[in-house]
Amino acid sequence: MKTQLESAREGIVTKELRIVADAENIPVDVLIKKVADGSVVIPANINHKNLVPCGIGQGLRTKINANIGTSSDYGDVDTELAKLKTVIEYKADAVMDLSTGGDIDAIRKKIIEACPIVIGSVPIYQAAVQKMANYEAVVDMTEDDLFYAIEAHCKDGMDFITVHCGLTQRAIALLKQQKRVTDIVSRGGAFLTGWMLHNQKENPLYEHYDRLLEIAHRYDVTLSLGDGLRPGCTADATDRAQIEELVTLGELVHRAREAGVQTMVEGPGHVPLNQIAANMQLQKTICENAPFYVLGPLVTDIAAGYDHITGAIGGAIAATQGASFLCYVTPAEHLGLPDIEDVKNGIIASRIAAHAADIANGIPGAAEQDLRMSVARKNLDWEGQKKECIDPIRFDAVRKNKGTDTEACSMCGKYCAMKIVEKELGLTHHGRC
């Protein structure tokens, strides 16, 4: 079995590579070089049979991820399948199943079965949660428990898995020394930190990284190297603990590539706007251009209830500065679990951020869509606008609600300035006055 990375290095054009090249409208021989050097990944588990492959990385359209999954209080798989349907309908490029409640194995299998887009997970959640479900402590989790969960997720078809391999004893020591405001906000990072401090051992995902690489290689699972020490508030951003972990992740990207395993790197988190560019540039050099998968970043801490907007601001900037993959943030962030409406709003906000960056980055097809939209707007062509806009359902709903679902100009009533200009002077007219 060859991974996508190994195939690309040998010049073999896989079916997946061809599909991605077509979807991105770039030549196969350009794409294959990016996959070969690791600046693009094609997360495509050999056991994810219904996957439509998608590339993530430099020079491609910015991708976005939506999280779903049961929790201990909400363990119903049908709710999550309904969310998955929404995720697909609203055009997220990837989804993560973060289930921690109900029959986690069965839920995962059902979700993968129903999922034609790239799918990922965080296996340590299951390993830790199952310990607790057995009335044991997370700190009593064995290394085998952890690798057992990882293997199960890989075998079932996860295209990528988040593994917090860079969270070392040294990084934790730096974290303790510098006294953060919010310490650790990554759930996986917290589980591991608890385990490492209690057991006074190094992170098994770091220490036994070769074992992880062997499993990932077997199924061609892309490792998404997690940032267990990502800042949980803007005051904690870009500190020594975060950057120490990033340095280790860079080391691990290098080792994964040597083993023929594809990698992405996960990034912050809460980051002030003026620190985003530096964070993206650091990741590029330290992690040898591995695709950067960012959570937000959230550019302020005070917008609970509106963090999809905070994340869209940070995500748009991040994606113009080097991030390739944006994890959505929903309006429910910091307040509760997202419902379907939150999922929709989170996806749309992330897609706006990604698309704004794609225009700025000159990604083929991006500005062209805006041009078609603008021409339709100018021509008062509402069907044309609906076709090009980011959410046709909402487009119709708002127009209906406003009573502007007519052929008329929607904003100014009878004093439409464009109409006047058009009528009197032959300049063209459009929909926004």
Our finding on whether 13 is near a copy of itself (CB under 8 A) is: no
**Which of 159/388 has CB closer to a copy of itself?**
388
Place of tokens 């690489």: 213
Our finding on whether 433 is near a copy of itself (CB under 8 A) is: yes
Which listed range, 14-22, 141-149, 245-253, 266-274, lies at the site for a copy of itself (CB under 8 A)? 266-274
Our finding on whether 191 is near a copy of itself (CB under 8 A) is: yes
Selected binder of a copy of itself within 52, 235, 281, 365 (CB under 8 A): 235
Our finding on whether 278 is near a copy of itself (CB under 8 A) is: no
Our finding on whether 164 is near a copy of itself (CB under 8 A) is: no
Our finding on whether 168 is near a copy of itself (CB under 8 A) is: no
Contact flags string 367-406 toward a copy of itself, x per CB under 8 A:
x-xxx-xxx-xx------x--xxxx--xx-xxx-xxxx--
Contacts of a copy of itself in 287-306 (CB under 8 A): 299-306
Cα torsion for 6, 7, 11, 17, to the nearest 10°? -130
Contacts of a copy of itself in 49-88 (CB under 8 A): 71-74
Selected binder of a copy of itself within 101, 296, 322, 346 (CB under 8 A): 101
Q: Are strands 222-225 and 160-163 parallel, antiparallel or unpaired?
A: parallel
Please classify residue 367 by burial: count the beta carbons closer than 10 Å to its beta carbon, then call 0-12 exposed, 13-18 middle and 19+ buried: middle
CB of 330 to a copy of itself, least distance (A): 11
Selected binder of a copy of itself within 320, 325, 326, 343 (CB under 8 A): 320
Q: Which amino acid is at 167?
A: L
Report the b/e string of 292-324 with b at 16+ CB within 10 A: bbbbbbbbbbebeebbbbbbbbbbbbbbbbbbb
Report the b/e string of 159-171 with b at 16+ CB within 10 A: bbbbbbbbbbeeb
Selected binder of a copy of itself within 316, 318, 323, 380 (CB under 8 A): 316
Is the separation of the CB atoms in 92 and 64 below 8 Å? yes
Our finding on whether 109 is near a copy of itself (CB under 8 A) is: no
The phi, psi pair for 86, rounded to 5°, reads -65, -45
**Strand-pair partners of 68:** 97
